[in-house]
Amino acid sequence: MGYEIVRLTSKGQMTIPVHIRRRLNLKDGDSLIVSVEGNAIRLQKLEPVRPLDENDPIWGLIGAGESKLGDVAENHDRYLAEEEIKRWRR
């Protein structure tokens, strides 16, 4: 893997070379994670979180836990309220 030399401005800014931006598909407004490893600075593209769609297999796990309730997605708030009432009555 090669390397590039870039200069910092007086404000600590630098320009990421265009071929690197293209390779990583970096666009205006994207976020980068900045970390320090020894005496090196590491930049990593922050991948946005993809929202789950209705066909995601995770939805099949709802209710599969200890409660054995299959309707947790639809009645989540009601179950929370019932458990909170039980907790306060103890």
Q: 9 with 31, same domain? A: yes
58 alpha carbon, distance to own chain's centre: 17
CATH number at residue 28: 2.10.260.10
Per-residue pLDDT for the chain (90 aa), expressed as one digit of tens each? 688 899 999 999 999 999 999 999 999 999 999 999 999 999 999 988 877 788 887 777 766 677 666 676 677 788 788 888 988 887
What is the total count of domains within the chain? 2
- pLDDT score for 68: 67
pTM of the model: 0.51
CA angle 48, 52, 55 (to 5 degrees): 145
| Containing structural domain, residue 7 | 1-48
